C-alpha cells in the first residue's frame, strides 16, 4: 500500500481579478495567508478568468504550498462551476474557450469592481476589461465536458446557494453532467448538508472558503488523504481508490 498523507486544501479562492473580490486579495497575499493557516493546497478560482493563477504559482515556488490553476466559470444557465488543473497550460486552454464565449461587454469598474491582474510581487500588470461578472454562453453540460477533455476536474460550486448554483439554476443536479464533486459552501454545516443533499451522496462533496477577502482564506477547508497534491490524486480521492478519500466538517 502506498503511503498516504493528509493535505489540507482550500480549493475555492478568488483574487483581486474577480470584480466582486477585495482589491487586497492579491496572489502573493493569498499564498502567505494560506501558509500561515497551515494549508497545503489552494486553488485560485477567479470568475471566468485565470490570469492571476501564474502569479500565485510563482509566489508559492519553494514554499511547499501547492497552487492549483483554477477558474470559476459561469455557464449560460448562470450555474457556477469550478475548474481545477495542475498546470497553467490546461487552464489557459480553457480560458481561451471561455473568453471566446463570454458575453460581450466591458467591465464597469465603478459598479462591478476592479479586475486587477498582478504579478507574484503584487505589481499591478493591468486591468482586465472583459465583463467577467457576466456568463459564458456555454451550457454547464458542455463546460464540464471541456474541462474533462483538457484534463481538469469539474466541481459544482456552492450547491447550497439560492443563486449561481447548479441546483438554484436547474432545480437539481442533472445526471448527465458528470461533476467530479460538489462544493458545499462555508455557510452550511456537514449535518445540515447531509439533511439537505442526501439524494446527492453518490457524488463526492468538498467544502471550501470561496474567499473574496484575505481574512476568509481557510474559513472552510477539505482534508485529502492522498499520495501527492495533484489533480490525479484528488480525482482518486473522489473515487476512493486504494484508501484515498476526502473529508470536511
Partner 1 sequence: MKLNDIVNKLPLKVNSYSDGLQKDVSGGYSSDLLSDVLANSREGNVWITLQTNLNIVAVASVKNLAGIIIVSSKKPPEETLKKAEEEKITIMTTSMPAFETAGRIYQLLQGKNV
Name the residues that contact partner 1, by CB under 8 A. Answer: 20, 74, 76-78, 103-105, 108, 111-112, 131, 133-135, 162-164
Give whichever of 20 and 149 is closer to partner 1, judged by the CB atom. Answer: 20
From the CB of 121, what's the least distance to partner 1, in Å?
31
Least distance from C-beta 20 to partner 1, angstroms?
A: 8
| Closer residue to partner 1 (CB): 180 or 216 | 216
Lookup: cell for 111: 459598479
> Nearest approach, Cβ of 111 to partner 1 (angstroms)?
5
* Minimum distance from residue 53 beta carbon to partner 1 (Å): 23
Kindly state the smallest distance separating residue 226's Cβ from partner 1, in Å. 35
Q: What's the CA dihedral at 134, 164, 190, 200 to 10 degrees? A: -120
Please choose, from the candidates 201, 185, 95, the residue with its C-alpha nearest in 3D space to the C-alpha of residue 138: 95
Residue 222 CB, shortest distance to partner 1, in Å, is: 25
Which residue number, 111 or 202, has a Cβ lying nearer to partner 1? 111
CB-CB contact of 234 with 224 (8 Å): yes
- The nearest distance, CB 115 to partner 1, in angstroms, is 14
Nearer to partner 1 among residue 60 and residue 74 (C-beta): 74
**SS (HEC) of the chain:** CCCCEEEEEEEEECCCCCCCCCCCCCHHHHHHHHHHCCCCEEEEEEECCCCCHHHHHHHCCCCCCEEEEEEEEECCCCCEEEEEECCHHHHHHHHHHHHHHECCCECCHHHHCCCEEECCCCCEEEECCECCCCCECCCHHHHHHHHHHCCCEEEECCCCCCCCCHHHHHCCCCCCCCCCEEEECCCCCHHHHHHHCHHHCCCCEEECCCECCHHHCCCCCEEEEECCCCHHHHHHHHCCHHHCEEECC
Quick one: 134 or 229, whose CB is closer to partner 1? 134
Amino acid at each position: 500500500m502506498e503511503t498516504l498523507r493528509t493535505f489540507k486544501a482550500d480549493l475555492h479562492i478568488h483574487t483581486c481579478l474577480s470584480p466582486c473580490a477585495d482589491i487586497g486579495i492579491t496572489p502573493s497575499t493569498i499564498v502567505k495567508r494560506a501558509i500561515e493557516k497551515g494549508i497545503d493546497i489552494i486553488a485560485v478560482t477567479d470568475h471566468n478568468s485565470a490570469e492571476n493563477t501564474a502569479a500565485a504559482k510563482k509566489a508559492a515556488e519553494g514554499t511547499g504550498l501547492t497552487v492549483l490553476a483554477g477558474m470559476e466559470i459561469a455557464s449560460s444557465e448562470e450555474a457556477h462551476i469550478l475548474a481545477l488543473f495542475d498546470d497553467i497550460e490546461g487552464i489557459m486552454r480553457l480560458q481561451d474557450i471561455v473568453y471566446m464565449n463570454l458575453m460581450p461587454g466591458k467591465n464597469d469598474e465603478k459598479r462591478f469592481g476592479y479586475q486587477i491582474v498582478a504579478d507574484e510581487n503584487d505589481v499591478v500588470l493591468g486591468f482586465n476589461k472583459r465583463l467577467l461578472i457576466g456568463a459564458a454562453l456555454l451550457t454547464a453540460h458542455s463546460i464540464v465536458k471541456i474541462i474533462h477533455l483538457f484534463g481538469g476536474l469539474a466541481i459544482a460550486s456552492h450547491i447550497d446557494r439560492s443563486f449561481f448554483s447548479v441546483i438554484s439554476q436547474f432545480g437539481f443536479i442533472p445526471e448527465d453532467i458528470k461533476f467530479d464533486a460538489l462544493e458545499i459552501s462555508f455557510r452550511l454545516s456537514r449535518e445540515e448538508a447531509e439533511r439537505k443533499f442526501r439524494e446527492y451522496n453518490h457524488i463526492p462533496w468538498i467544502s471550501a472558503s470561496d474567499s473574496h477577502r484575505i481574512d476568509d482564506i481557510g474559513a472552510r477547508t477539505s482534508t485529502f488523504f492522498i499520495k501527492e497534491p495533484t489533480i490525479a490524486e484528488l480525482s482518486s480521492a473522489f473515487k476512493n481508490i486504494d484508501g484515498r478519500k476526502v473529508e470536511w466538517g
